[in-house]
Structure 1
Amino acid sequence: MRLALAFAALSAVAFSPASAQAATATATAKANVLKPLQMTGGGTVDFGTIVTPSAATFSGTFTIDAAAAQTSTFCASGFACSGTRAAAMFNLQGSNNANITLNVPTTVTLTLQGATGTPPTLIFTTRNSVSATNSGTGNYTIQLPNSGQPGRDFYVGGSVTINQSTAGGSYQGTFTVTADYQ
């Protein structure tokens, strides 16, 4: 009887299904938390006053440096220039080391103020301190150097060309610079 009982117990163990093996996998949870992106500044790109030559035919290109200080030669030969030249300054703040897509228009139309009918225009071709060259699209990728203040300053300057067909008067136009996290 003992032998039969031992044989039955051994048979139960031998013929029972193998115990199930546990399977595991690992997942990662993550979150990218960004501070609100803020841009301040703007101001005015100021070419000052430009007096044209008295010659019948003339042309001159006038450039505002994309910098805080205006150090390059500004006034074209034959023209008289006065006033304080200035680039527009912007400050961008957000999260440290975040990649930002920045868009600066490549051209801005300046319209003669107070003109009637179809007003004369000047084309302002922008340059900025983010890149030494204009990208052609106005899109740039930058990285913020810190979180919050002081952020990153950048300047927008550029050039206009004036010739004998340019009507006299005050020209003005506005442009918008945009920035967004990538």
Structure 2
Amino acid sequence: MTKFVKIAAVAAALLGTAPAFAATSVTGAAPSATARIIRPLTLTATGSLNFGTIVMNNVTANRTVTVNPDGSITCAVELVCDTTGSFVTYNVTGTNGQTVNIIKNTSTLTGSNSGSLTLTPVGANSVVLTNSGAPGKDFPIGGSIDIAPTTIDGVYTGTVDVQVDYN
């Protein structure tokens, strides 16, 4: 019985002792945290994109007419165009110093006598905001259309599809 009591005493002593390793805390360089807060973008437009009157003069292939962002018109051979048109002026507001991408999507102009033309907006690809909020940053957008030998005469209308997003 003496052996049993000694074994039981040894087991109790082992169970009551602290573990051989102790919990330790580790300190080191903490990672940084950042947050970028920006204002939402707003986009407004004034004016309209107007190519003026275009006369087809025995057009033999697709010919391009462009209203440049300064209002001048580039007119291909076999076409007679007005010398100036009008462009759209957009205004974007947001956060000062941020670069804003200008996304220009093609759209369809529908003819009053049937037919359609594809409008491709032209202008800057981005602007940098010089203030937060009003007055915002203005930028002009012109456009190009292709006139085919089969283009039907009439008045063509549609929308200029321009969007903006932070870079």
**TM-score under structure 1 length normalisation:** 0.63
Instruction: Give the C-alpha shift of residue 153 in structure 1.
Output: 1.9
Higher strand share: 2
Q: Are residue 41 (structure 1) and residue 45 (structure 2) matched?
A: yes
Q: Are residue 121 (structure 1) and residue 116 (structure 2) matched?
A: yes
Moved more, 77-86 or 44-53: 77-86
2:81 match: secondary structure? strand
Amino acid at match of 1:110: L
Amino acid at match of 1:170: V
Provide the C-alpha distance between the structure 2 equivalents of 1:23 and 1:59, rounded to a whole number of angstroms: 73
1:62-96 deviation digits (Å, cap 9, x = unpaired): 1111x2x334x533344333385012111111111
Task: Give the superposed CA RMSD.
Answer: 3.2
Amino acid at match of 2:54: I
- The alpha-carbon distance between structure 1 residues 78 and 28, as it changes in their structure 2 partners (threshold 3 A), is closer
**TM-score under structure 2 length normalisation:** 0.68
Amino acid at match of 2:76: A
1:83-125 deviation digits (Å, cap 9, x = unpaired): 85012111111111224343211x2211112x4xxx3111122
Question: What 5-or-longer segments of structure 1 have no aligned partner?
Answer: 1-19, 131-140
- The alpha-carbon distance between structure 1 residues 23 and 75, as it changes in their structure 2 partners (threshold 3 A), is closer
1:145 match: secondary structure? coil
Provide the C-alpha distance between the structure 2 equivalents of 1:120 and 1:102, rounded to a whole number of angstroms: 29
| Residue in structure 2 matching 1:157, options 135, 142, 147 | 142
Contact 1:109 1:121 survives alignment (8 Å)? yes
Question: What 5-or-longer segments of structure 2 have no aligned partner?
Answer: 1-22
- The alpha-carbon distance between structure 1 residues 98 and 162, as it changes in their structure 2 partners (threshold 3 A), is same
Number of matched residues?
Answer: 147
- The alpha-carbon distance between structure 1 residues 70 and 40, as it changes in their structure 2 partners (threshold 3 A), is same
Q: Are residue 179 (structure 1) and residue 164 (structure 2) matched?
A: yes
- Give the aligned partner of residue 89 of structure 1: 89
Contact 2:102 2:124 survives alignment (8 Å)? no
Provide the C-alpha distance between the structure 2 equivalents of 1:159 and 1:175, rounded to a whole number of angstroms: 11
Amino acid at match of 2:161: T
Provide the C-alpha distance between the structure 2 equivalents of 1:104 and 1:146, rounded to a whole number of angstroms: 23
Which has the higher Rg, Structure 1 or Structure 2? 2
Q: Are residue 70 (structure 1) and residue 71 (structure 2) matched?
A: yes
Amino acid at match of 1:129: A
1:27-82 deviation digits (Å, cap 9, x = unpaired): 655443322321111532110011222x37465321111x2x334x5333443333
